[in-house]
Chain A
Amino acid sequence: MYYVDLAVTGLSFGCMYALMAVGLTLVYGLLRILHIAHAAVFALGAYITVIVANASGSILLGLLAAIAFTPLFGMAIYRVLYQPLLSYRPDVPMIASVGLLVLMQDAFRIAFGEQGVTFQNNVYLFEIFDIGGERVNAVQIAIVVCTILVFIGLHLFTTRTRIGIAWRATVSQPKIATSFGIDAERVRYLCFAIGSALAALAGGLVGLLDNLVDPVIGYVVSYKALAIIVLGGLGSVRGTLIASLVLGLIESYGTIFIGSWLNRDAIAFVALIVLLLVRPQGLTGVRAP
């Protein structure tokens, strides 16, 4: 049973990583920018969730507020920071993105304190379910369910809707897509809006799971989600899901077997570095151009 426990923990962490990373993958796929400030959007979503939830008494309202507001912020990042830098080599906007992340994280610390904000009435965390002998709480279930819904939704969106198909066209051939009358700018705004909404959802759920939103909440995203999108391959949504689950499992088992000489974060990066050396194009990706 012990190994099953580890697998359950690993997979639920994996789903959490997948939610965090998918927005990053979308942005990378479209613009080839490592949107490190995605972590700041994630933290913003977590803060909005906790503050609105505590003020209104409804956690659901908090999550909805976060999902409604962060897309505006994400689109503003694109407009103000990335759009003017698109003609430079990709590491220029990436460094700007790092700057924005560091700035925002300090701003959160100044505004809401070093200790962070806790949920006053986090009922879901203490609602325990028994599934086939495994004890899981409602937040973990919500994370897994949301991940499944998000990935199915993204799949349907990109294959069945007009704007989704326009998106894929812009990802693979921006110039030709434009000549077919697709407004690439609109697709980019949409990409940042959806990616940010997903980041907010992930932020809110992770905040609920930890029962705490503190200034460093975004760090997990800033480095682990980066590792995941690299592992998953260039902007591949499917690869992101696979890489997240694999990483969740590696960490879960890794902390047991080699946890005495490496911590959880380090294990994730050992996996990343080994894999990059073997397959520089990622798990599912094609070779980088």
Chain B
Amino acid sequence: MSAYDVSVLSVIGINVILAVSLNMISGFCGQISLGHAAFYGAGAYAAALVMIGSGSLPLALLSGAVAGTALGILVGFTSLRVRSDFLAVTTIGINFLFTGFVRKQAWLGGEMGISGIPGSGLGARGNMMMILVFAAMTIALSVYIGRSWMGFAFSAVSEDEDAAATLGINAGAYKLAAFGIGTALAGLAGGLYTFFTQFITADAFDFIFSVMLMAMVVIGGIGSTWGVAIAAIGLTLLPEAIRFVNDYRLLVFGGIMVLVIRVAPGGLAALARRLARGDAK
């Protein structure tokens, strides 16, 4: 396995965690978030600072998850006040707020970012294994939640909040839970990214990256853990495999996103289900 393979696999693992965790918020619970990169970034910066300060890998990863979830719960509270598309605008705002804030902070490295972050001590291959283990755990957690009572409550909130309330489901609490879990995982992914690159700038966590993550969720099929995980892998590999795609990454991603929504709003997952049932349509 070459160094290139190791780094591609690491990026795939991180993107899978991000896409699957975004799917918990936007897919399971129906709260469209276009600012997932902000939570990812918060986790990365927190992990970097803690690692520089303490030198402890578990502590750094934990603080990444905590930072992601802290910001996530904050945004979750906004979701209690505003609904659907207005929430989407607010989350775009959170993303710009995050990058705008970080760029101006000397203690976060400003425009230059933070460099010279101590390594995890596991080596590139060990890092990759760690990332892939976390990615597998994220998928497992997502599948488990999808089948649990919580997953049922999430989809009730997603379908119709008022009807969910009449079933005795506390919509607010479940929305906060979705944001809390999803953003904790995004923060964890941020921590893993910090150890992967050992160098972070605000540019890695901009709005465009949030859109790419949303593209993975939509293309995979909103609400389907496996669909989203496969889309995350495919869309990460695509620019690596095809030179054209690497040059025109956003053109291709945007194009696929539009096509998928237009042709099959349920994404790959819905297409697969349709094929499995053998529908003519």
Residue of A nearest to B34 (CB): A98
Chain A 79-114 residues near chain B, CB threshold 8 A: 80-81, 84-85, 88-96, 98-107, 110
Q: Is A277 close to B, CB under 8 A?
A: yes
Enumerate chain B residues within 8 angstroms of A90, measured Cβ to Cβ.
84-85
Q: Within the assembled complex, what's the spacing in Å between the Cα atoms of A81 and B250?
A: 18
Nearest chain B CB to A172's CB is how many angstroms away?
19
A96-B257 contact given A227-B93, A265-B96, CB 8 Å threshold: yes
Q: Is the CB of A110 within 8 A of B248?
A: yes
Residue of A nearest to B77 (CB): A277
Q: Is A142 close to B, CB under 8 A?
A: no
Q: Is the CB of B254 within 8 A of A81?
A: no
Q: Mark B125-163, 1 if CB is under 8 A from A, else 0.
A: 000000000000000000000000000000000000000
Main secondary structure of the interface of B (DSSP, over half): helix
Q: Within the assembled complex, what's the spacing in Å between the Cα atoms of A277 and B90?
A: 10
Q: Which of A85, A91, A262 contacts B88 (CB 8 A)?
A: A91
Q: Is the CB of B93 within 8 A of A272?
A: yes
Enumerate chain A residues within 8 angstroms of B261, measured Cβ to Cβ.
85, 92-93, 95-96, 99
Enumerate chain B residues within 8 angstroms of A267, measured Cβ to Cβ.
100
Enumerate chain A residues within 8 angstroms of B214, measured Cβ to Cβ.
95, 98
Q: Is B7 close to A, CB under 8 A?
A: no
Q: Is the CB of A85 within 8 A of B81?
A: no
A270-B83 contact given A100-B258, A227-B89, CB 8 Å threshold: no
A230-B100 contact given A85-B265, A102-B257, CB 8 Å threshold: no
Nearest chain B CB to A250's CB is how many angstroms away?
14
Nearest chain A CB to B11's CB is how many angstroms away?
20
Nearest chain A CB to B247's CB is how many angstroms away?
8
Nearest chain B CB to A83's CB is how many angstroms away?
11
Nearest chain B CB to A256's CB is how many angstroms away?
14
Task: Name the residue among B82, B101, B261 with the largest chain A CB count within 10 angstroms.
Answer: B261
Q: Within the assembled complex, what's the spacing in Å between the Cα atoms of A221 and B32?
A: 20
Q: Is A269 close to B, CB under 8 A?
A: yes
Enumerate chain A residues within 8 angstroms of B211, measured Cβ to Cβ.
98, 102
Q: Is A266 close to B, CB under 8 A?
A: yes
Enumerate chain B residues within 8 angstroms of A32, measured Cβ to Cβ.
85
A103-B258 contact given A110-B251, A276-B78, CB 8 Å threshold: yes
Q: Is B104 close to A, CB under 8 A?
A: yes
A230-B255 contact given A99-B215, A261-B105, A273-B78, CB 8 Å threshold: no
Q: Is the CB of B262 within 8 A of A266?
A: no
Nearest chain B CB to A227's CB is how many angstroms away?
6
Residue of A nearest to B75 (CB): A273
Q: Which of A33, A106, A280 contacts B254 (CB 8 A)?
A: A106
Q: Which of A84, A270, A273, A277 contacts B262 (CB 8 A)?
A: A84
Q: Which of B92, B97, B208, B248 contacts A266 (CB 8 A)?
A: B97
Residue of B nearest to A103 (CB): B254
Enumerate chain B residues within 8 angstroms of A104, measured Cβ to Cβ.
254
Q: Is A34 close to B, CB under 8 A?
A: yes
Q: Is B60 close to A, CB under 8 A?
A: no
Q: Is A223 close to B, CB under 8 A?
A: yes
Q: Which of B93, B208, B258 contacts A273 (CB 8 A)?
A: B93
Q: Is A260 close to B, CB under 8 A?
A: yes
Enumerate chain A residues within 8 angstroms of B92, measured Cβ to Cβ.
223, 226
Q: Mark A227-265, 1 if CB is under 8 A from B, else 0.
A: 100100000000000000000000000000000111111
Residue of A nearest to B257 (CB): A99
Q: Within the assembled complex, what's the spacing in Å between the Cα atoms of A175 and B22?
A: 37
Q: Is the CB of B88 within 8 A of A88?
A: no
Q: Within the assembled complex, what's the spacing in Å between the Cα atoms of A1 and B96?
A: 32
Residue of A nearest to B217 (CB): A95
Q: Is the CB of A96 within 8 A of B90?
A: no
Nearest chain B CB to A95's CB is how many angstroms away?
5
Q: Is the CB of A226 within 8 A of B89?
A: yes
A85-B262 contact given A99-B254, A273-B90, CB 8 Å threshold: yes
Nearest chain B CB to A55's CB is how many angstroms away?
26
Nearest chain B CB to A47's CB is how many angstroms away?
16
Q: Within the assembled complex, what's the spacing in Å between the Cα atoms of A8 and B265?
A: 47
A266-B90 contact given A102-B254, A103-B258, A106-B248, CB 8 Å threshold: no
Write the residues of chain A forming the contact surface with B, with a CB cutoff of 8 angstroms: 32-34, 80-81, 84-85, 88-96, 98-107, 110, 223, 226-227, 230, 260-270, 272-273, 276-277, 280, 288
The contact sample of 27 A-B pairs, CB cut-off 8 A, is A33-B85, A90-B84, A91-B84, A92-B261, A95-B218, A95-B261, A99-B218, A99-B256, A102-B211, A102-B253, A103-B250, A103-B255, A103-B258, A105-B254, A106-B248, A110-B251, A262-B100, A262-B101, A263-B100, A266-B101, A266-B104, A269-B94, A272-B89, A273-B94, A273-B97, A276-B82, A280-B86
Of all A-B residue pairs in the complex, the 3 with the closest CB atoms, nearest first, are A266-B100, A103-B254, A99-B257
